[in-house]
Each structure stands twice: as structure tokens, then as C-alpha cells.
């Protein structure tokens, strides 16, 4: 059985949520910006909770799931990154968008890639607001996956929270969603890299083998 460590519903995968979110809902004047930058669905949810006015500003996003979240809440998607990494999104923004426009990066407290910093170094006008933070779910109500399970780690946070609660069983198979997630795995754990794929695509890849 394939396990994902989030509450995202996927086809042919079981959920073992290891991380939780807390939204930081301080007021934001979205309308002074030309574009919003989203790297997760959680940030879109936070924007909606802060003010529905965010929907008037075009969004630049990572991932089809985040794009769908924007559209489901009534927002406008201006661009979807071709890959699932912040560094790639930054490069694509540099190649396709005007640095003189005003951008707002709605982000978690801890980021894997300094998207705002990369863009500012290229001359872009980018503000950042922390709109949510993640923390580990309690261990006491979590049961470890059974022997032989396939476990997909989707972020460095899921790695940290999983190993806070469980020890690794040699019968497990690990998949990592991206290089930064792979680098967070404890030394000695063999893994397969799901490079440039969404969670669902990684599940489909595994079951298609």
C-alpha cells in the first residue's frame, strides 16, 4: 500500500497526515499588487480567509493542485510553473514577467526555497507575507504503516515529522518528492526520487511499475 503523509485525498493512496497548519490571518491590501505568488494550496486558503479581494489579482503558482485551488475559490491563474520547485518558478518568472510590477509572495513560515530573495536579486519588486506555519501532528494517535508499505515524503517537513514519531522499517520503500525532500531523509535510507512530479503523479508512477 502507498502512503502519503498529508491529508490530501488521492486515488490509490492512504493518508497518514503528519503535519498540521496554523493560519496567520493579518490584514493584507492585496489590491496594491499586480501578481500574487503561491507555492501551496495552504497559502491560497489563507488568502481567502484574510480577504476575498485577493481574487482580483492574477496568481502565479506552483502545481496544478494549487492552480485548481485558486480557480475553485474564484481567483485567476496567470501562470503555472512547468516544474514543482521554487528555483524553477523563480527562473520562469524572470523569463516571462516584468520586474517593474509589484509581486506578493504568500508563504509559509519556513520555505524550502528563498523565492522572494531570488527574485529581488534579479531586480523584481517582491514583498513577502507569512500566512501560515506548519508543525508536526501529535504522535500518540498515529500508528506506523504496516511492513512493506511504500511511503511518499512530499516535503522536508513530512520527513521531520515522520521520523519524530516512527522508526524506519527495512521493509519500507521510500519515495521523495523533489531533491530538497530527498536531502532531508536520514542517512542510509534508500529512496526513489519523484523528480518534477505531483503527489498523484508519483502515486501513479509507483503503481504503474
Q: Is 164:172 a contact under the CB 8 Å cutoff? A: no
In this prediction, residue 112 carries a pLDDT of: 81
175 against 141, higher pLDDT: 175
In the chain, where does DSSP find H-type helix? 41-50, 64-72, 86-96, 115-121, 156-165, 179-184, 199-208
- Provide mean pLDDT across the span 187-192: 95
- The helix (run of H) or strand (run of E) holding residue 131 is strand 125-136
What would the grid cell of residue 102 be?
509589484
- In tens, the pLDDT along 119-173 reads 999 999 999 999 999 999 999 888 999 999 999 999 899 999 999 999 999 999 9
The phi, psi pair for 15, rounded to 5°, reads -95, 135
- The helix (run of H) or strand (run of E) holding residue 15 is strand 14-15
In this prediction, residue 145 carries a pLDDT of: 96
- In tens, the pLDDT along 54-83 reads 999 999 999 888 999 999 999 999 999 877
Residue with cell 506555519: 133
Domains of the chain are 2-18+137-208 (3.40.50.10090), 22-135 (3.40.50.10090)
Indicate whether 209 pLDDT > 70. no
Indicate whether 111 pLDDT > 90. no
Answer positive or negative: Cα dihedral of 191, 197, 198, 204: negative
Q: Is 46:24 a contact under the CB 8 Å cutoff? A: yes
Put the strands of the sheet holding 35-38 in their side by side order: 19-23, 125-136, 102-108, 35-38, 59-61, 77-80
| Burial per residue of 116-137, b for 16 or more beta-carbon CB atoms within 10 angstroms, e otherwise | bebbbeeebebebbbbbebebb
Amino acid at each position: 500500500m502507498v502512503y502519503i503523509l498529508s491529508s490530501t485525498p488521492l486515488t490509490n493512496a492512504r493518508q497518514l497526515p503528519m503535519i498540521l497548519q496554523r493560519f496567520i490571518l493579518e490584514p493584507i491590501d492585496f489590491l496594491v499588487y499586480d501578481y500574487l505568488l503561491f507555492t501551496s494550496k495552504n497559502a491560497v486558503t489563507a488568502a481567502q480567509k484574510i480577504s476575498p479581494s485577493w481574487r482580483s489579482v492574477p496568481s502565479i503558482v506552483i502545481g496544478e493542485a494549487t492552480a485548481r485551488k485558486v480557480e475553485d475559490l474564484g481567483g485567476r491563474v496567470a501562470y503555472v510553473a512547468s516544474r514543482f520547485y521554487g528555483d524553477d518558478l523563480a527562473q520562469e518568472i524572470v523569463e516571462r514577467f516584468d520586474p517593474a510590477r509589484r509581486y506578493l509572495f504568500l508563504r509559509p513560515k519556513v520555505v524550502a526555497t528563498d523565492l522572494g530573495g531570488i527574485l529581488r536579486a534579479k531586480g523584481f519588486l517582491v514583498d513577502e507575507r507569512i500566512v501560515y506555519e506548519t508543525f508536526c501532528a501529535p504522535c500518540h494517535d498515529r500508528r506506523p504503516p504496516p511492513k512493506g508499505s511504500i511511503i511518499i515524503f512530499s516535503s522536508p517537513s513530512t520527513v521531520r515529522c515522520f521520523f519524530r514519531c516512527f522508526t524506519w522499517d527495512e521493509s519500507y520503500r521510500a519515495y521523495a518528492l523533489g531533491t530538497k525532500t530527498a536531502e532531508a531523509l536520514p542517512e542510509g535510507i534508500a529512496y526513489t526520487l519523484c523528480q518534477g512530479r505531483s503527489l498523484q503523479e508519483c502515486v501513479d508512477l509507483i503503481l504503474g511499475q
